[in-house]
Amino acid sequence: MIYGKGIRLRAIEKDDLPLFVEWLNDPEVRHGLMIYLPLSQAEEQRWFEAMLKRPQEEHPLMIEIEEQEQWIPIGNCGLFDINWRVRSAEVGIVIGEKSYWNQGHGTKAMRLLLRHGFKTLNLNRIFLRVYEHNSRAARAYEKTGFVHEGRMRQAHFHEGQYLDAIIMSVLRSEWQDVQ
């Protein structure tokens, strides 16, 4: 497990899948994600089996926070499409438990994941895509050191309109400066 103060990242288990289905079938949770269709338990099971075949470094991690001496799962995050030659990876995160939104848990989880990416995996660049309508997420990413790098015009379709995808990244040297 990867520990921070009052937060940890742990491996995902098959028993977590019903929680993921619940989260990802909520339109508010899906709002900033690439997922746009309802998800069945069987589809999530197929995703899980395929995920296990990927390199271990690319397995998503459950975000849990400590409350009254218990660990509560609130979302997941992970690094994927790792390019070992240039030491780069894309990052994704979702806080699925809406009652924990706007409390800084996503920022804490991202800081922990960046620490893992830079210190454990020896990455040099970590990037993400955030859709232009998700300014709350963009602000949270900026708090963890991400900077705006570029824009993919009309790269996402959401509720009848095309939206830009903003590319943000943080370099190891920048991250070390903000820690």
Note the pTM of the prediction, 2 decimals.
Answer: 0.93
pLDDT tens figures, 101-144: 999 999 999 999 999 999 999 999 999 999 998 888 899 999 99
Low-confidence stretches of the chain (pLDDT beneath 50): 179
For domain 2-127, the CATH class is: alpha beta
Residues with Cβ < 8 Å from 2, sequence gap 6 or more? 8, 9, 10, 61, 112, 113, 115, 116
- The closest of 70, 69, 68, 93 to 80, measured between CA atoms, is 93
